[in-house]
Structure 1
Protein backbone atom coordinates (compact mmCIF):
# COMPACT_ATOMS: atom_id res chain seq x y z
CA UNK A 1 0.00 0.00 0.00
CA UNK A 2 1.44 3.38 -0.98
CA UNK A 3 2.26 6.00 1.68
CA UNK A 4 -0.01 9.10 1.53
CA UNK A 5 1.72 12.21 0.15
CA UNK A 6 0.53 14.30 3.11
CA UNK A 7 2.30 11.96 5.51
CA UNK A 8 5.57 12.18 3.56
CA UNK A 9 5.36 15.96 3.55
CA UNK A 10 4.69 16.00 7.28
CA UNK A 11 7.62 13.67 7.95
CA UNK A 12 9.96 15.76 5.81
CA UNK A 13 8.90 18.93 7.64
CA UNK A 14 9.55 17.24 10.98
CA UNK A 15 13.02 16.20 9.85
CA UNK A 16 13.82 19.75 8.70
CA UNK A 17 12.62 21.23 11.98
CA UNK A 18 14.59 18.68 13.93
CA UNK A 19 17.77 19.49 11.99
CA UNK A 20 17.27 23.22 12.56
CA UNK A 21 16.73 22.72 16.28
CA UNK A 22 19.81 20.52 16.50
CA UNK A 23 21.91 23.18 14.75
CA UNK A 24 20.65 25.84 17.15
CA UNK A 25 21.43 23.60 20.12
CA UNK A 26 25.00 23.07 18.89
CA UNK A 27 25.59 26.79 18.20
CA UNK A 28 27.77 28.29 20.94
CA UNK A 29 26.26 31.17 22.93
CA UNK A 30 27.83 34.56 22.21
CA UNK A 31 30.52 35.43 24.74
CA UNK A 32 31.15 31.80 25.67
CA UNK A 33 34.41 29.83 25.62
CA UNK A 34 33.02 27.67 22.81
CA UNK A 35 32.24 30.77 20.74
CA UNK A 36 35.78 32.09 21.17
CA UNK A 37 37.30 28.72 20.20
CA UNK A 38 34.99 28.68 17.16
CA UNK A 39 36.15 32.17 16.24
CA UNK A 40 39.76 30.99 16.39
CA UNK A 41 39.00 28.15 13.97
CA UNK A 42 37.15 30.54 11.66
CA UNK A 43 40.12 32.96 11.63
CA UNK A 44 42.83 30.37 10.99
CA UNK A 45 43.50 31.47 7.37
CA UNK A 46 43.86 35.11 8.50
CA UNK A 47 45.96 34.21 11.56
CA UNK A 48 48.35 32.06 9.52
CA UNK A 49 48.86 34.66 6.78
CA UNK A 50 48.83 37.73 9.02
CA UNK A 51 50.77 40.76 7.83
CA UNK A 52 51.66 41.47 11.48
CA UNK A 53 54.27 38.71 11.55
CA UNK A 54 52.36 36.88 14.29
CA UNK A 55 48.99 35.08 14.47
CA UNK A 56 46.89 38.22 14.82
CA UNK A 57 43.71 39.43 13.14
CA UNK A 58 42.52 43.06 13.29
CA UNK A 59 39.15 44.33 12.12
CA UNK A 60 37.32 47.64 12.43
CA UNK A 61 33.98 49.06 11.39
CA UNK A 62 31.89 52.20 11.62
CA UNK A 63 28.13 51.94 11.99
CA UNK A 64 26.14 55.17 12.26
CA UNK A 65 27.84 57.10 15.10
CA UNK A 66 29.73 54.15 16.59
CA UNK A 67 33.22 52.88 15.76
CA UNK A 68 34.51 49.45 16.78
CA UNK A 69 37.83 47.65 16.59
CA UNK A 70 38.72 44.06 17.49
CA UNK A 71 41.99 42.17 17.81
CA UNK A 72 42.08 38.38 17.92
CA UNK A 73 45.46 36.80 18.56
CA UNK A 74 47.22 33.63 19.59
CA UNK A 75 49.64 34.60 22.36
CA UNK A 76 52.65 32.53 23.40
CA UNK A 77 51.75 32.90 27.08
CA UNK A 78 49.83 30.56 29.41
CA UNK A 79 46.20 31.28 30.12
CA UNK A 80 46.95 32.11 33.76
CA UNK A 81 49.57 34.69 32.77
CA UNK A 82 47.26 36.35 30.26
CA UNK A 83 44.30 36.24 32.62
CA UNK A 84 46.26 37.83 35.46
CA UNK A 85 46.42 41.06 33.42
CA UNK A 86 42.65 41.49 33.70
CA UNK A 87 41.72 39.90 37.01
CA UNK A 88 42.01 43.11 39.05
CA UNK A 89 41.62 46.84 38.49
CA UNK A 90 45.24 47.36 39.53
CA UNK A 91 46.49 44.92 36.88
CA UNK A 92 44.27 46.50 34.22
CA UNK A 93 45.72 49.91 35.11
CA UNK A 94 49.25 48.53 34.73
CA UNK A 95 48.30 47.44 31.21
CA UNK A 96 46.49 50.63 30.18
CA UNK A 97 49.17 52.98 31.51
CA UNK A 98 51.64 51.75 28.88
CA UNK A 99 49.54 53.41 26.14
CA UNK A 100 51.15 56.75 25.26
CA UNK A 101 47.80 58.58 25.58
CA UNK A 102 47.05 57.28 29.09
CA UNK A 103 48.64 59.58 31.67
CA UNK A 104 47.22 58.03 34.81
CA UNK A 105 45.18 55.02 35.84
CA UNK A 106 44.20 53.94 39.31
CA UNK A 107 41.54 51.70 40.87
CA UNK A 108 38.38 53.58 41.81
CA UNK A 109 35.84 52.92 44.53
CA UNK A 110 33.91 49.74 43.94
CA UNK A 111 34.77 47.67 40.87
CA UNK A 112 36.22 50.24 38.53
CA UNK A 113 39.11 52.48 37.60
CA UNK A 114 39.82 56.12 36.85
CA UNK A 115 41.75 56.85 33.66
CA UNK A 116 43.24 60.18 32.62
CA UNK A 117 43.67 60.18 28.84
CA UNK A 118 44.63 62.82 26.33
CA UNK A 119 47.34 64.06 23.95
CA UNK A 120 50.65 62.21 24.08
CA UNK A 121 52.31 65.16 25.83
CA UNK A 122 50.63 65.19 29.22
CA UNK A 123 51.37 68.89 29.69
CA UNK A 124 49.80 69.84 26.37
CA UNK A 125 46.45 71.56 26.22
CA UNK A 126 43.71 69.73 24.36
CA UNK A 127 41.34 66.87 24.90
CA UNK A 128 42.58 65.46 28.22
CA UNK A 129 39.70 63.82 30.04
CA UNK A 130 39.05 61.79 33.17
CA UNK A 131 37.19 58.63 32.31
CA UNK A 132 35.54 56.45 34.93
CA UNK A 133 35.35 52.82 33.86
CA UNK A 134 33.30 50.20 35.60
CA UNK A 135 34.81 46.72 35.49
CA UNK A 136 32.61 43.65 35.23
CA UNK A 137 33.97 40.09 35.21
CA UNK A 138 31.40 38.10 33.28
CA UNK A 139 33.25 34.76 33.28
CA UNK A 140 36.27 33.60 35.28
CA UNK A 141 36.98 29.88 35.29
CA UNK A 142 39.87 27.60 34.19
CA UNK A 143 38.59 27.53 30.60
CA UNK A 144 37.55 31.13 29.95
CA UNK A 145 37.97 34.69 31.21
CA UNK A 146 35.78 37.53 29.99
CA UNK A 147 36.00 41.06 31.43
CA UNK A 148 34.09 44.13 30.24
CA UNK A 149 35.08 47.73 31.00
CA UNK A 150 32.63 50.52 30.27
CA UNK A 151 32.71 54.31 30.61
CA UNK A 152 29.73 56.60 29.95
CA UNK A 153 31.72 59.49 28.46
CA UNK A 154 35.04 60.61 27.01
CA UNK A 155 36.65 63.62 25.25
CA UNK A 156 34.57 65.88 22.97
CA UNK A 157 31.24 64.46 24.16
CA UNK A 158 32.08 60.96 22.90
CA UNK A 159 30.26 58.31 24.90
CA UNK A 160 29.55 54.67 25.68
CA UNK A 161 33.14 53.45 25.76
CA UNK A 162 33.43 49.68 25.95
CA UNK A 163 36.52 47.49 26.26
CA UNK A 164 36.06 43.73 26.07
CA UNK A 165 38.82 41.33 27.03
CA UNK A 166 38.47 37.60 26.84
CA UNK A 167 40.84 34.65 26.67
CA UNK A 168 40.79 30.87 26.46
CA UNK A 169 43.70 28.40 26.73
CA UNK A 170 44.95 26.75 23.53
CA UNK A 171 47.39 24.50 25.34
CA UNK A 172 49.68 24.67 28.38
CA UNK A 173 51.76 27.49 26.95
CA UNK A 174 49.46 29.41 24.59
CA UNK A 175 46.24 31.41 24.79
CA UNK A 176 43.77 32.82 22.33
CA UNK A 177 42.64 36.35 23.20
CA UNK A 178 40.09 38.84 22.00
CA UNK A 179 40.49 42.54 22.72
CA UNK A 180 37.68 44.81 21.59
CA UNK A 181 37.40 48.60 21.82
CA UNK A 182 34.44 50.76 20.81
CA UNK A 183 32.73 54.09 21.47
CA UNK A 184 30.07 56.43 20.16
CA UNK A 185 31.38 59.47 18.33
CA UNK A 186 29.97 62.98 17.81
CA UNK A 187 30.01 65.78 15.27
CA UNK A 188 32.51 67.67 17.46
CA UNK A 189 34.79 64.64 17.60
CA UNK A 190 34.59 64.15 13.82
CA UNK A 191 35.38 67.83 13.24
CA UNK A 192 38.39 67.62 15.58
CA UNK A 193 39.55 64.52 13.74
CA UNK A 194 39.25 66.24 10.35
CA UNK A 195 41.31 69.19 11.61
CA UNK A 196 43.90 66.83 13.06
CA UNK A 197 44.10 64.80 9.84
CA UNK A 198 44.53 67.99 7.82
CA UNK A 199 47.42 69.16 10.02
CA UNK A 200 49.55 67.12 12.43
CA UNK A 201 47.88 63.84 11.53
CA UNK A 202 47.86 64.17 7.76
CA UNK A 203 50.27 61.24 7.36
CA UNK A 204 48.44 58.98 9.84
CA UNK A 205 47.21 55.65 8.52
CA UNK A 206 45.55 52.55 9.91
CA UNK A 207 46.32 48.89 9.27
CA UNK A 208 43.48 47.90 6.94
CA UNK A 209 44.44 47.89 3.27
CA UNK A 210 41.73 49.59 1.19
CA UNK A 211 43.41 49.60 -2.23
CA UNK A 212 46.64 50.34 -4.06
CA UNK A 213 48.59 53.52 -4.61
CA UNK A 214 49.71 54.55 -8.10
CA UNK A 215 53.04 52.80 -7.57
CA UNK A 216 51.34 49.55 -6.55
CA UNK A 217 52.04 49.88 -2.83
CA UNK A 218 49.18 49.28 -0.35
CA UNK A 219 46.77 52.13 0.34
CA UNK A 220 45.86 52.12 4.02
CA UNK A 221 42.73 53.22 5.80
CA UNK A 222 42.60 56.80 7.10
CA UNK A 223 40.24 58.78 9.30
CA UNK A 224 38.42 57.83 12.49
CA UNK A 225 38.49 54.08 11.87
CA UNK A 226 42.24 54.28 11.26
CA UNK A 227 42.65 56.13 14.55
CA UNK A 228 40.66 53.42 16.33
CA UNK A 229 42.81 50.71 14.74
CA UNK A 230 45.96 52.39 16.04
CA UNK A 231 44.37 52.71 19.46
CA UNK A 232 43.25 49.10 19.79
CA UNK A 233 46.64 47.85 18.59
CA UNK A 234 48.43 49.99 21.17
CA UNK A 235 46.28 48.42 23.88
CA UNK A 236 46.92 44.94 22.55
CA UNK A 237 50.67 45.56 22.61
CA UNK A 238 50.28 46.84 26.18
CA UNK A 239 48.72 43.49 27.10
CA UNK A 240 51.54 41.66 25.32
CA UNK A 241 54.20 43.75 27.07
CA UNK A 242 52.56 43.16 30.45
CA UNK A 243 52.55 39.39 29.91
CA UNK A 244 56.14 39.37 28.61
CA UNK A 245 57.63 40.93 31.79
CA UNK A 246 56.85 38.98 34.95
CA UNK A 247 59.91 39.29 37.22
CA UNK A 248 61.62 42.05 39.20
CA UNK A 249 60.39 44.71 41.57
CA UNK A 250 57.28 46.75 40.63
CA UNK A 251 59.52 49.59 39.46
CA UNK A 252 61.71 47.22 37.43
CA UNK A 253 58.67 45.59 35.85
CA UNK A 254 57.20 48.96 34.92
CA UNK A 255 60.39 50.17 33.25
CA UNK A 256 60.85 46.89 31.39
CA UNK A 257 57.23 46.91 30.21
CA UNK A 258 57.51 50.50 28.97
CA UNK A 259 60.54 49.55 26.87
CA UNK A 260 58.88 46.36 25.65
CA UNK A 261 55.71 48.23 24.66
CA UNK A 262 57.70 50.80 22.73
CA UNK A 263 59.68 48.11 20.90
CA UNK A 264 56.48 46.27 19.95
CA UNK A 265 54.86 49.41 18.54
CA UNK A 266 57.99 50.31 16.59
CA UNK A 267 57.58 47.12 14.58
CA UNK A 268 54.72 49.01 12.94
CA UNK A 269 56.26 52.45 12.87
CA UNK A 270 54.31 53.58 9.79
CA UNK A 271 51.15 53.47 11.89
CA UNK A 272 52.32 53.79 15.48
CA UNK A 273 55.53 55.83 15.69
CA UNK A 274 55.00 59.11 17.54
CA UNK A 275 58.33 59.95 19.16
CA UNK A 276 61.63 58.41 20.25
CA UNK A 277 62.12 56.01 23.13
CA UNK A 278 63.85 58.60 25.32
CA UNK A 279 60.90 61.01 24.89
CA UNK A 280 58.37 58.28 25.66
CA UNK A 281 60.22 57.20 28.81
CA UNK A 282 60.64 60.79 29.95
CA UNK A 283 56.93 61.50 29.44
CA UNK A 284 55.93 58.35 31.29
CA UNK A 285 58.23 59.25 34.18
CA UNK A 286 56.43 62.60 34.48
CA UNK A 287 53.12 60.73 34.43
CA UNK A 288 54.30 58.38 37.20
CA UNK A 289 55.35 61.31 39.38
CA UNK A 290 52.01 63.07 38.87
CA UNK A 291 50.11 59.85 39.50
CA UNK A 292 52.01 59.19 42.72
CA UNK A 293 51.10 62.70 43.83
CA UNK A 294 47.44 62.02 43.07
CA UNK A 295 47.27 64.49 40.19
Structure 2
Protein backbone atom coordinates (compact mmCIF):
# COMPACT_ATOMS: atom_id res chain seq x y z
CA UNK A 1 0.00 0.00 0.00
CA UNK A 2 1.05 3.60 -0.58
CA UNK A 3 0.69 4.15 3.16
CA UNK A 4 3.79 2.07 3.80
CA UNK A 5 5.71 3.75 0.99
CA UNK A 6 5.39 7.16 2.68
CA UNK A 7 5.18 6.51 6.43
CA UNK A 8 5.83 10.08 7.59
CA UNK A 9 3.25 11.59 5.25
CA UNK A 10 0.76 8.88 6.21
CA UNK A 11 1.34 9.48 9.88
CA UNK A 12 0.92 13.22 9.42
CA UNK A 13 -2.44 12.59 7.80
CA UNK A 14 -3.40 10.09 10.47
CA UNK A 15 -2.64 12.57 13.22
CA UNK A 16 -5.62 14.71 12.19
CA UNK A 17 -7.65 12.51 9.84
CA UNK A 18 -10.44 11.43 12.08
CA UNK A 19 -12.75 13.46 13.15
CA UNK A 20 -15.59 15.33 13.46
CA UNK A 21 -16.40 16.39 15.24
CA UNK A 22 -15.28 14.83 18.30
CA UNK A 23 -13.73 12.80 21.20
CA UNK A 24 -14.47 10.92 24.48
CA UNK A 25 -13.04 11.53 27.92
CA UNK A 26 -11.96 7.91 27.85
CA UNK A 27 -12.07 5.03 25.42
CA UNK A 28 -14.64 3.36 27.64
CA UNK A 29 -17.01 6.32 27.37
CA UNK A 30 -16.61 6.51 23.62
CA UNK A 31 -17.45 2.84 23.17
CA UNK A 32 -20.30 2.82 25.67
CA UNK A 33 -23.86 3.83 24.96
CA UNK A 34 -24.93 7.45 25.20
CA UNK A 35 -25.05 9.03 28.62
CA UNK A 36 -28.49 10.02 29.85
CA UNK A 37 -29.61 13.63 30.11
CA UNK A 38 -29.19 13.31 33.88
CA UNK A 39 -25.62 12.01 33.53
CA UNK A 40 -24.72 14.87 31.18
CA UNK A 41 -26.16 17.41 33.60
CA UNK A 42 -24.01 15.91 36.33
CA UNK A 43 -20.99 16.01 34.05
CA UNK A 44 -21.62 19.67 33.29
CA UNK A 45 -21.93 20.43 37.01
CA UNK A 46 -18.58 18.73 37.66
CA UNK A 47 -16.83 20.63 34.86
CA UNK A 48 -18.64 23.97 35.20
CA UNK A 49 -15.87 25.75 37.10
CA UNK A 50 -13.17 24.53 34.69
CA UNK A 51 -15.29 25.54 31.72
CA UNK A 52 -15.93 29.02 33.12
CA UNK A 53 -12.23 29.54 33.91
CA UNK A 54 -11.01 28.07 30.64
CA UNK A 55 -7.64 29.39 29.41
CA UNK A 56 -8.85 29.06 25.82
CA UNK A 57 -10.88 32.32 25.78
CA UNK A 58 -13.85 30.04 25.18
CA UNK A 59 -15.93 28.13 27.73
CA UNK A 60 -14.52 24.65 27.11
CA UNK A 61 -12.37 21.88 28.53
CA UNK A 62 -10.12 19.60 26.43
CA UNK A 63 -9.00 16.20 27.72
CA UNK A 64 -7.15 13.24 26.24
CA UNK A 65 -5.84 9.81 27.18
CA UNK A 66 -3.67 7.06 25.74
CA UNK A 67 -4.02 3.46 26.93
CA UNK A 68 -2.14 0.70 25.15
CA UNK A 69 -3.11 0.85 21.49
CA UNK A 70 -6.15 3.12 22.04
CA UNK A 71 -6.34 6.91 21.90
CA UNK A 72 -9.23 9.05 23.06
CA UNK A 73 -9.98 12.65 23.78
CA UNK A 74 -12.87 14.96 24.55
CA UNK A 75 -14.12 18.49 24.46
CA UNK A 76 -16.86 19.73 26.77
CA UNK A 77 -18.18 23.19 25.99
CA UNK A 78 -20.97 25.64 26.64
CA UNK A 79 -22.19 27.15 23.39
CA UNK A 80 -24.24 30.37 23.07
CA UNK A 81 -26.64 28.93 20.50
CA UNK A 82 -30.04 27.64 21.67
CA UNK A 83 -30.29 23.91 22.22
CA UNK A 84 -33.13 23.58 19.69
CA UNK A 85 -30.89 25.03 16.97
CA UNK A 86 -27.94 22.79 17.85
CA UNK A 87 -30.17 19.72 18.07
CA UNK A 88 -31.81 20.44 14.71
CA UNK A 89 -28.62 20.95 12.74
CA UNK A 90 -26.12 18.63 14.39
CA UNK A 91 -28.27 15.60 13.61
CA UNK A 92 -28.35 16.35 9.87
CA UNK A 93 -25.80 14.36 7.82
CA UNK A 94 -25.48 17.27 5.39
CA UNK A 95 -24.58 19.63 8.23
CA UNK A 96 -22.01 17.13 9.54
CA UNK A 97 -20.39 17.07 6.10
CA UNK A 98 -20.28 20.89 6.02
CA UNK A 99 -18.56 20.80 9.41
CA UNK A 100 -16.04 18.21 8.26
CA UNK A 101 -15.27 20.14 5.10
CA UNK A 102 -13.94 23.05 7.15
CA UNK A 103 -10.89 20.96 8.06
CA UNK A 104 -7.76 21.58 6.03
CA UNK A 105 -7.25 17.92 5.17
CA UNK A 106 -10.88 16.96 4.38
CA UNK A 107 -10.97 16.83 0.59
CA UNK A 108 -14.54 15.62 0.19
CA UNK A 109 -17.56 14.56 2.24
CA UNK A 110 -20.64 13.01 0.64
CA UNK A 111 -23.84 11.78 2.27
CA UNK A 112 -24.68 8.26 1.10
CA UNK A 113 -27.79 7.06 2.91
CA UNK A 114 -26.74 6.43 6.52
CA UNK A 115 -23.06 6.95 5.70
CA UNK A 116 -20.73 9.90 5.46
CA UNK A 117 -18.13 9.06 2.81
CA UNK A 118 -15.09 11.17 3.67
CA UNK A 119 -11.86 11.59 1.72
CA UNK A 120 -8.88 12.70 3.81
CA UNK A 121 -5.69 14.02 2.28
CA UNK A 122 -2.89 16.54 2.52
CA UNK A 123 -3.20 20.11 3.77
CA UNK A 124 -2.94 21.40 0.20
CA UNK A 125 -4.68 20.59 -3.10
CA UNK A 126 -4.86 16.89 -3.88
CA UNK A 127 -6.72 14.66 -6.37
CA UNK A 128 -9.36 12.50 -4.74
CA UNK A 129 -7.77 9.28 -5.99
CA UNK A 130 -4.73 10.09 -3.85
CA UNK A 131 -6.78 10.70 -0.68
CA UNK A 132 -7.94 8.10 1.84
CA UNK A 133 -11.59 7.07 1.84
CA UNK A 134 -13.33 6.40 5.15
CA UNK A 135 -17.07 5.67 5.48
CA UNK A 136 -18.71 6.58 8.79
CA UNK A 137 -22.07 5.09 9.71
CA UNK A 138 -24.39 7.69 11.26
CA UNK A 139 -26.36 6.30 14.19
CA UNK A 140 -28.86 8.63 15.95
CA UNK A 141 -29.19 7.48 19.56
CA UNK A 142 -31.36 10.06 21.32
CA UNK A 143 -33.31 13.13 20.28
CA UNK A 144 -35.65 14.97 22.63
CA UNK A 145 -36.15 18.38 24.18
CA UNK A 146 -33.82 17.27 26.98
CA UNK A 147 -31.08 15.25 25.30
CA UNK A 148 -29.46 14.61 21.91
CA UNK A 149 -26.95 11.85 21.15
CA UNK A 150 -25.37 10.77 17.87
CA UNK A 151 -22.68 8.19 17.07
CA UNK A 152 -20.49 7.96 13.98
CA UNK A 153 -18.50 4.76 13.63
CA UNK A 154 -16.07 3.13 11.24
CA UNK A 155 -14.61 -0.33 11.84
CA UNK A 156 -11.38 0.40 10.00
CA UNK A 157 -9.29 3.21 8.60
CA UNK A 158 -5.94 3.65 6.84
CA UNK A 159 -2.67 2.26 8.09
CA UNK A 160 -4.05 -0.43 10.44
CA UNK A 161 -6.28 1.91 12.43
CA UNK A 162 -9.63 0.58 13.63
CA UNK A 163 -12.71 0.97 15.80
CA UNK A 164 -13.42 4.66 15.24
CA UNK A 165 -16.14 5.93 17.54
CA UNK A 166 -17.23 9.55 17.29
CA UNK A 167 -19.90 10.66 19.72
CA UNK A 168 -21.81 13.93 19.89
CA UNK A 169 -24.12 14.67 22.83
CA UNK A 170 -25.92 17.80 23.99
CA UNK A 171 -28.38 19.05 26.59
CA UNK A 172 -30.08 22.44 27.04
CA UNK A 173 -28.88 25.03 29.54
CA UNK A 174 -30.73 28.08 30.87
CA UNK A 175 -34.10 26.89 29.68
CA UNK A 176 -32.70 26.01 26.27
CA UNK A 177 -31.07 29.38 25.58
CA UNK A 178 -27.61 27.82 25.57
CA UNK A 179 -26.22 24.36 24.84
CA UNK A 180 -23.86 22.07 26.72
CA UNK A 181 -21.98 20.01 24.14
CA UNK A 182 -19.87 16.90 24.67
CA UNK A 183 -17.76 15.64 21.77
CA UNK A 184 -16.09 12.26 22.08
CA UNK A 185 -13.69 10.40 19.82
CA UNK A 186 -11.59 7.25 20.13
CA UNK A 187 -9.80 4.79 17.87
CA UNK A 188 -7.44 1.86 18.09
CA UNK A 189 -4.14 1.28 16.33
CA UNK A 190 -2.38 -1.75 14.96
CA UNK A 191 1.34 -2.11 15.56
CA UNK A 192 2.22 -0.65 12.14
CA UNK A 193 0.24 2.50 12.84
CA UNK A 194 1.65 2.92 16.33
CA UNK A 195 5.26 2.50 15.24
CA UNK A 196 4.84 4.87 12.30
CA UNK A 197 3.25 7.54 14.46
CA UNK A 198 5.92 7.20 17.12
CA UNK A 199 8.55 7.57 14.41
CA UNK A 200 6.86 10.66 13.03
CA UNK A 201 6.57 12.36 16.41
CA UNK A 202 10.21 11.58 17.14
CA UNK A 203 11.32 13.31 13.91
CA UNK A 204 9.28 15.60 11.65
CA UNK A 205 6.44 15.97 14.14
CA UNK A 206 8.59 16.52 17.21
CA UNK A 207 7.66 20.21 17.49
CA UNK A 208 3.90 19.65 17.33
CA UNK A 209 2.07 20.04 20.62
CA UNK A 210 -1.39 19.85 22.10
CA UNK A 211 -3.13 21.94 24.76
CA UNK A 212 -2.47 20.10 28.02
CA UNK A 213 0.45 21.47 30.00
CA UNK A 214 2.90 19.13 31.73
CA UNK A 215 5.08 21.35 33.86
CA UNK A 216 6.26 24.22 31.69
CA UNK A 217 5.63 22.45 28.38
CA UNK A 218 2.66 21.40 26.27
CA UNK A 219 2.03 17.73 25.76
CA UNK A 220 3.25 16.32 22.44
CA UNK A 221 3.12 12.99 20.64
CA UNK A 222 -0.11 11.15 19.98
CA UNK A 223 -2.01 12.79 22.82
CA UNK A 224 -1.00 16.17 21.46
CA UNK A 225 -2.31 15.16 18.05
CA UNK A 226 -5.69 14.06 19.34
CA UNK A 227 -6.03 17.28 21.33
CA UNK A 228 -5.37 19.32 18.20
CA UNK A 229 -8.03 17.31 16.38
CA UNK A 230 -10.45 17.84 19.23
CA UNK A 231 -10.05 21.59 19.11
CA UNK A 232 -10.23 21.77 15.32
CA UNK A 233 -13.50 19.90 15.20
CA UNK A 234 -15.01 21.79 18.08
CA UNK A 235 -14.15 25.06 16.34
CA UNK A 236 -15.77 23.70 13.17
CA UNK A 237 -19.02 23.02 15.02
CA UNK A 238 -18.81 26.45 16.62
CA UNK A 239 -18.25 28.11 13.24
CA UNK A 240 -21.09 26.18 11.62
CA UNK A 241 -23.67 27.07 14.27
CA UNK A 242 -22.57 30.72 14.37
CA UNK A 243 -22.82 30.99 10.56
CA UNK A 244 -26.53 30.13 10.64
CA UNK A 245 -27.32 33.71 11.64
CA UNK A 246 -26.03 34.94 8.26
CA UNK A 247 -28.16 34.98 5.10
CA UNK A 248 -28.17 31.50 3.51
CA UNK A 249 -26.03 32.44 0.45
CA UNK A 250 -23.31 33.79 2.77
CA UNK A 251 -23.23 31.00 5.35
CA UNK A 252 -20.51 28.83 3.84
CA UNK A 253 -18.13 31.76 3.37
CA UNK A 254 -18.94 32.91 6.89
CA UNK A 255 -18.12 29.54 8.45
CA UNK A 256 -14.89 29.18 6.50
CA UNK A 257 -13.76 32.62 7.69
CA UNK A 258 -14.84 31.93 11.25
CA UNK A 259 -13.08 28.57 11.40
CA UNK A 260 -9.80 29.88 10.06
CA UNK A 261 -9.83 32.93 12.33
CA UNK A 262 -10.60 30.75 15.35
CA UNK A 263 -7.77 28.30 14.65
CA UNK A 264 -5.32 31.18 14.31
CA UNK A 265 -6.07 32.12 17.92
CA UNK A 266 -4.16 28.94 18.76
CA UNK A 267 -1.49 29.21 16.09
CA UNK A 268 1.13 27.40 18.21
CA UNK A 269 -0.97 24.25 17.96
CA UNK A 270 -3.22 24.68 14.92
CA UNK A 271 -1.59 26.81 12.22
CA UNK A 272 -1.09 24.85 8.99
CA UNK A 273 -1.65 27.10 5.98
CA UNK A 274 -2.07 30.79 5.23
CA UNK A 275 -5.52 32.35 5.06
CA UNK A 276 -5.70 32.99 1.31
CA UNK A 277 -4.38 29.50 0.54
CA UNK A 278 -6.97 27.91 2.81
CA UNK A 279 -9.93 29.87 1.42
CA UNK A 280 -8.94 29.28 -2.21
CA UNK A 281 -8.40 25.56 -1.63
CA UNK A 282 -11.78 25.15 0.09
CA UNK A 283 -13.57 27.00 -2.69
CA UNK A 284 -12.06 24.58 -5.22
CA UNK A 285 -13.02 21.57 -3.10
CA UNK A 286 -16.62 22.71 -2.78
CA UNK A 287 -16.77 23.30 -6.53
CA UNK A 288 -15.54 19.74 -7.02
CA UNK A 289 -18.48 18.60 -4.90
CA UNK A 290 -20.79 20.58 -7.16
CA UNK A 291 -21.89 22.55 -4.10
TM-score over 0.5 for the pair: yes
Quick check: 1:241–1:260 contact (8 Å CA) kept in 2? Answer: yes
- The structure whose Rg is larger is 1
More off after superposition, 68-77 vs 239-248: 239-248
Partner of 2:167: 164
SS of residue in 1 equivalent to 2:159:
helix
Partner of 1:181: 185
Distance in 1, matches of 2:128 and 2:118, equals 17
Distance in 1, matches of 2:133 and 2:265, equals 30
Which of 147, 150, 164 is the equivalent residue of 1:147?
A: 150
Question: CA-to-partner distance for each residue in 1:233-261, whole Å, 9 max, x for gaps?
Answer: 11100000001011456552111101100
Q: 1:114/1:251 Cα in 2 relative to 1: closer, same or farther (>3 Å)?
A: farther
Distance in 2, matches of 1:92 and 1:140, equals 16
Deviating 4+ runs (over 6 angstroms): 124-127
Partner of 2:53: 49
Which of 106, 109, 113 is the equivalent residue of 2:110?
A: 106
**Corresponding pairs, count:** 258
Distance in 2, matches of 1:259 and 1:160, equals 33
Structure 1 alignment gaps of length 5 or more? 1-28, 213-218
After TM superposition, list the pairs within 5 Å mapping 1:279-290 onto structure 2.
279-290=277-288
Partner of 1:191: 195
CA shift at 1:63, angstroms?
1.3
Q: Does 1:32 align with 2:36?
A: yes
Question: CA-to-partner distance for each residue in 1:138-169, whole Å, 9 max, x for gaps?
Answer: 10001111000001111212111111001101
Partner of 2:209: 205
Distance in 1, matches of 2:53 and 2:120, equals 34
Partner of 1:7: none
Q: 1:189/1:121 Cα in 2 relative to 1: closer, same or farther (>3 Å)?
A: farther
Partner of 2:75: 71
Q: CA RMSD in A?
A: 2.1
Structure 2 alignment gaps of length 5 or more? 1-32
Distance in 1, matches of 2:228 and 2:149, equals 23
CA shift at 1:84, angstroms?
2.6
CA shift at 1:127, angstroms?
8.1
CA shift at 1:190, angstroms?
2.5
Distance in 1, matches of 2:130 and 2:192, equals 12
SS of residue in 2 equivalent to 1:139:
strand
Quick check: 1:127–1:156 contact (8 Å CA) kept in 2? Answer: no
Partner of 2:91: 87
Q: 1:124/1:94 Cα in 2 relative to 1: closer, same or farther (>3 Å)?
A: closer
